[in-house]
Amino acid sequence: MTEVSSPSANFGVTFPEHYVSPKQMSIIERKRALEEERRLRILDPKRRTIGVDLKALEQQVEEKSLRNLAAKEDTKLYHLDNLSCLLILL
Q: What's the CA gap between 76 and 74, in Å, rounded?
A: 5
Residues 56 and 22 in one domain: no
Residues 69 and 38 in one domain: no
Tally of structural domains, the chain: 2
Residues 88 and 60 in one domain: yes
pLDDT at 6: 47
Residues 36 and 64 in one domain: no
Q: Domain range for residue 68?
A: 51-90
pLDDT at 89: 76
Residues 38 and 65 in one domain: no
Residue by residue, pLDDT tens for the chain (90 residues) are 444 454 444 566 666 666 778 888 899 899 999 999 998 888 887 777 667 788 989 999 999 999 999 999 999 988 888 888 877 877
